[in-house]
Amino acid sequence: MSAQSLDRVSINNLRGVGPQLSLKLNKLGLHSVQDLLFHLPLRYIDRTKITPIGGIQPQTEVVIEGEVRASDIVFGRRRSLVCRLQDNTGTTTLRFFHFNRAQQERLTVGARLRCFGEARRGVSGVEFYHPEYQYLDANQPRQLEETLTPIYPATEGITQSRIRDLCAQALTKLDNHPIAELLPSFPDGGLNHQLAYSLIDALLLLHNPPPGTALNLLAAGEHPAQQRLAAEELIAHNLSLLRLRQKIQQQGAPILREDQTAKSAFLKQLNFQLTDAQIRVADEINVDIDSTVPMLRLVQGDVGSGKTVVAALAALQAIANGKQVALMAPTEILADQHRQNFEQWFKPLNIGVTWLTGKIKGKARALKLSAIADGTAQMVIGTHALFQDTVEFNDLGLSIIDEQHRFGVHQRLALRQKGFVPNSTAETNGSAPHQLIMTATPIPRTLAMSAYADLDCSVIDELPPGRKPVDTLVLSNLRRNDVIERVRASCVNGRQAYWVCTLIEESDVLEAQAAEVTASELQLLLPDLSIGLIHGRLKPREKIEIMEAFKQGDINLLVATTVIEVGVDVPNASLMIIENSERLGLSQLHQLRGRVGRGTEASHCVLLYSPPLSGNGNARLKIMRETTDGFKIAEKDLELRGPGEVLGTRQTGNMHLHIADLQRDAHMLPDIKVVAEKLLLNYPKNVDPLIRRWLGRKEQYAQA
Ligand code: ADP
Ligand code: MG
C-alpha cells in the first residue's frame, strides 16, 4: 500500500487539533499537513547560546544569565519593577510594567535567572522590557535550544508554541509519507545554485535551522534553502501562465490572411509613414494571426510610439477576412479617442465602427447588441462593458485590449474566461479569437517575463520622426507665478497646455475639488485664456466634450486631475505643468508627461514640488529630468519603489507570492522562464502538482 501524499492528509490528523483549532488553521490557509510544511517562519530567534551581559548589542534578541543584584519598585510616570541582573561581564536592567505580587516576591536579590528578550538602549544603559525569564537551579541545569527558534505567521488564538508543535509533527510525518520532489535538476544550467537544496532539505532547514545558520541571510530571504523554495514558487507561477497559454492555444483560431488591397488603401490615406518599429511589430502580428493558433501577444511601446495604428492594421486584416474585431480601452475618454481615429481611418474603406459603453442603455443599446450579434458591427470599440455577458459576437476574430496595465492581471485573465471567448459563437466551433494586448507602461524585461509569461512580446522601440524630447524642469512651488506667466506666454502664442492637480489620497471628490479651486484661481490670474476643467467626477459625456473642445483648440489651458493620464492625444498641446509631482510614481509622471511632445513643436514639462523634497523624491524627479525613455524610467521605478508599484498593486497582488519576492529574486527570473518551459516540455506530469502546491485554491487566477 502506498502512503498517502501529505497534501491529502488533513491537519485534523495531528495531535491536538480539534474542530476549533482546525477552523483557525483553515483561516491561515492551512488545510493539509503539507500546507503546514509550507507554512514557513517569518523570522527566527537565537536561543541556542547565552550572550555575556557585557557583550549585548542593543536591538538584538538574546539569551542572558545572571544573578539579581537589586530589585525595586520604581514610581515614575509609570510604576515599574526594576531588577539589576549581573554576570561576570556586566550588569543590565530588567523592567516590568505589569507584575503581580508573587513575581515581585520571587524576583529578589540573589535569584539566578535566564532571560530572553530584546535589548534596548534605555535610561540606565541596555535594558530589557518584559523579558521572558526562568529561575536557574544549580541542581537542575536547563537545556538551551538546539536549533534557532522559528517565529511563524499566526493568528489570534494560536500561540507560537502550538504552531511550532504542529509544524514539528508535520515534519515527523515526512518519515512515512512522501512529498514529491517536482523539480528535476537540469544539468545544462538554469538555477543550479537555487536547486542545490532538495525540497525536503530546504523545508527541514527552514523549520529548524541548526545553530550557526546565517540569521542575516535568513532575514534577507537569501539563504539557499529559501532561494530553493522561492525558485519553485516562481516556477509554479510561470507554469500556471504557460498552462493557460497552452489551453488557449489548443483551441483553434481563424486564419486571417493579409489583404494587400485593403492594407495599401489604409496606408495611403494615413498622413504619415509607419516607423520601422511599427512595421516590424505589425509583421510579427501578421505572422501570428495568419495561423490557426490563437495569437497571444503583448505590444509594449512607449507613450506616443504609435500603437493604435498598429492595432488598426491588425483589425483591418481581421475585417478583410470577414471577422469581427473588438477593441477595449480602460476609460471612456480613451475609448472615444479610439472611436474617432478608427472612424477616420475606416470610413473611407467602408468599414463601420460601433461604439459601446456601459452608459449606452435602452433601445440604443439593444440595437447595438443585435448588430454585434448578427455580425453587421465589424469594428466594435468600447470600455469593459464590451465584456459583459449580454454582449455576444457573431464571429469575433480578434480582440484588442488597450492600456492593459490599467486592468491588472486578474482582469486580463477574467476577460478571457468569461469575456469574448465563450460569447463568441466562433468558439463553439472550437475556435478562439486572436488577442492583442497593448501597454504603454514599459515593464522591465525580467518583470515582464514573470507577469506576462503567457504572452509573446513585441516592442515598438522607436518614436515617430520629428518628435522632440520633452524638456523637463523641476521647480519649487515658490516659483509658481513664473510658471503661470510661462503658461500665459505659451498660450498667447497659440500653443495649448495641461495643468495637472494631484492629491495624495485617491479620492475623486477631493481631487475634483482641488482641480476646481486651481482652475478658478488660474482663471483669475489668466483672464484672457479659455480654461477648461476635467476630472473624474464629470459625466463621461461631459469629459468627452471637454476633450473635444481642447482638441479643437477652443480651450487653451486644460486643468485636469490624473484622469488624463493615459492615452490622450492632442498634438498641439506642448506644455505640461504637474503640481505636487513629488507625490507621484515615476511611471505615472512618465504617462502624464507623454501627453505632450506629440506634435512637431518643442514641448516642455514643469514638475512643481512643495519643498522640502525627500531624498527619494529628489531622486525620482532627477530621473524625470534626465531621461524620457520609458524603459529606463521603469527600471529606476523598480529600483526605487519595487515591483508592486511598477506593475500596479492589482497585478502583483494577484500573484500572491508567499516566499518569492519579485524584486529580490529578479536575478533568477530569466532562468525561471527557461526551467518552466523545460518542465512543460519534458516533465508535463510535474506541472499540475507544482501549480497546485503553490497556487492551491487560488488557482482560479490562472484557469483558462
Ligand atoms: P500610443 O502608442 O501612445 O498609443 P498613439 O497610437 O496614440 O500612441 O499615437 C500617437 C500619435 O502619433 C498619434 O497622433 C498618431 O496618429 C501619431 N503617429 C502614429 N504613428 C506615426 C508615425 N509613424 N508617424 C507620425 N505620426 C504617427
Ligand atoms: Mg495609446
Residue of higher predicted confidence among 445 and 235:
235
Contact 534, 516 (CB under 8 A): no
Q: Give pLDDT, residue 142.
A: 80
Atom of ligand 1 nearest to the CA of 341: 16
- The set of protein residues with a Cβ atom below 6 angstroms from ligand 1 is 272-275, 278, 301, 303-309, 440, 464, 567, 569, 571, 598
Three-class SS of residue 472? Answer: strand
Can you tell me the distance from the alpha carbon of 204 to that of 209, in angstroms, rounded to the nearest whole number?
Answer: 8
- 327: amino acid identity, one letter: L
- Alpha carbon of residue 539 to chain centroid: 30
Q: Relative to the CA of 305, which ligand 1 atom is closest?
A: 2
What gap in Å lies between CA 499 and CA 488, rounded to an integer?
Answer: 12
pLDDT-derived band at 702, boundaries 50, 70, 90: very low
- For 595-636, the pLDDT digits (tens) are 898 877 889 999 999 989 888 889 899 999 999 888 888 888
Residue of 279, 309, 341 to test ligand 1 pocket, by largest number of atoms within 8 Å of CB: 309
In this prediction, residues 397-401 reach a mean pLDDT of: 91
pLDDT at residue 55 in the model: 93
Q: What is the Å distance from ligand 1's center to 402 Cα?
A: 14
C-alpha cell at 376: 453587421
Q: Whose CA is closest to atom 9 on ligand 1?
A: 306
pLDDT of residue 412: 62
The per-residue pLDDT for 625 is 95
Q: pLDDT averaged over the chain?
A: 86
Q: Phi and psi dihedrals of 289, rounded to 5?
A: -85, -15
* Residue range 49-135 in CATH 2.40.50.140: yes
Higher pLDDT pick, 43 / 404: 43
State the Cα angle at 621 between 618 and 626, rounded to 5°: 120
Which amino acid makes up residue 212? Answer: G
The correct CATH number of 471-627 out of 3.40.50.300, 3.20.20.70, 2.40.50.140, 3.30.2010.10 is 3.40.50.300
For 311-362, write each residue's pLDDT tens digit.
Answer: 999 999 999 999 999 999 888 888 988 999 999 999 999 999 999 988 888 9
Vertex 480 angle, CA 474 and 484, to 5°: 105
Domain-wise residue ranges, the chain = 49-135, 471-627
Q: What digits encode the pLDDT tens for the residues 98-107?
A: 888 888 899 9
Q: Give percent of the chain with pLDDT exceeding 70.
A: 90
| Percentage of the chain lying above the pLDDT 90 cut | 50
pLDDT for residue 647: 57
Q: How far apart are CA 656 and CA 658, in angstroms?
A: 6
Question: What are the Cα distances from residue 395, in Å, to 97, 322, 325, 373, 421?
Answer: 74, 8, 9, 8, 10
**Ligand 2 centroid – CA 440 distance (Å):** 7
Which is it for strands 296-301 and 456-460: parallel, antiparallel or unpaired? parallel
**Most confident of the ranges 200-204, 383-387, 448-452, 510-514:** 200-204
Question: What's the whole-model pTM score?
Answer: 0.75
- State yes or no: pLDDT of 583 exceeds 50: yes
Residue 652 has pLDDT above 50, yes or no: no
* Ligand 1 nearest atom to the CA of residue 598, by list position: 11
Contact 64, 87 (CB under 8 A): yes
Kindly tell me if the per-residue pLDDT of 368 is higher than 70. Answer: yes
Reply yes or no on whether the pLDDT at 424 is more than 80. no
Q: Whose CA is nearest to atom 23 of ligand 1?
A: 274
Nearest protein CA to atom 19 of ligand 1, as residue: 306
Mean pLDDT of 654-669: 80
Q: Cα(449)–Cα(672) distance, rounded to whole angstroms?
A: 9
Say yes or no to pLDDT of 565 above 80. Answer: no
* pLDDT tens column, 93-148: 999 988 888 888 999 999 999 999 999 998 778 999 999 899 998 777 788 888 88
Task: Give the position, in ligand 1's atom list, of the atom nearest the Cα of 270.
Answer: 16
Q: How confident is the model at residue 655 (pLDDT cuts 50, 70, 90)?
A: low
Ligand nearest to the CA of 312: 1
Enumerate residues 6+ apart whose C-beta is below 8 A from 534.
515, 543, 546, 547, 558, 559, 560, 561, 563, 564
pLDDT band at 421 (very low <50, low <70, confident <90, very high): very low
Question: Which ligand 1 atom minimizes the distance to the CA of 594?
Answer: 3
Q: Please return the burial class of 118, using the count of CB atoms within 10 Å of its CB with bins 0-12, 13-18 and 19+.
A: middle
Q: Are 254 and 324 in contact (CB under 8 A)?
A: no
Q: Grid cell 530584546 — which residue?
A: 118
For residue range 224-270, what is the model confidence (pLDDT) as tens digits? Answer: 999 999 999 999 999 988 988 888 888 888 999 999 999 999 999 99
Summarize pLDDT for 59-79 with one digit per residue, the tens: 888 999 999 999 999 988 888
Higher pLDDT, 468 or 65: 65
Residue 307 has pLDDT above 50, yes or no: yes
448 pLDDT exceeds 90? Answer: no
With a cut of 70, say whether residue 18 has pLDDT above it.
Answer: yes
Give CA–CA dist 490/606, Å, rounded. 13
Residue 44 parent element (H or E):
strand 43-45
Closest CA to 499 of 556, 545, 541: 556
Our mutation pick for probing the ligand 1 site, out of 270, 272, 342, counting the most ligand atoms within 8 A of Cβ, is 272
Question: For 56, left (φ over 0), alpha (ψ -120 to 50), or beta?
Answer: beta
pLDDT at residue 182 in the model: 92
- Cα–ligand 1 centroid distance for 346 (angstroms): 16
pLDDT for the residue 701: 36
In the predicted structure, residue 428 carries a pLDDT above the cut 60? no
Amino acid in position 621: L
Nearest to 423, CA basis, from 469, 385, 456, 464 = 385
Q: Which of 269, 310, 569 to mutate to test the pocket of ligand 1 (most atoms within 8 A of CB)?
A: 569
Longest dimension (CA), the chain: 100
For the beta sheet containing 396-401, the strands, ordered from the edge strand earlier in sequence to the opposite edge, are: 353-356, 379-382, 324-328, 396-401, 434-439, 296-301, 456-460
**Cα 409 to ligand 2 centroid, rounded to whole Å:** 19
**pLDDT value at position 679?**
93
> Ligand 1 center to residue 304 CA distance, Å?
5
Overall average pLDDT of the 160-179 stretch: 89
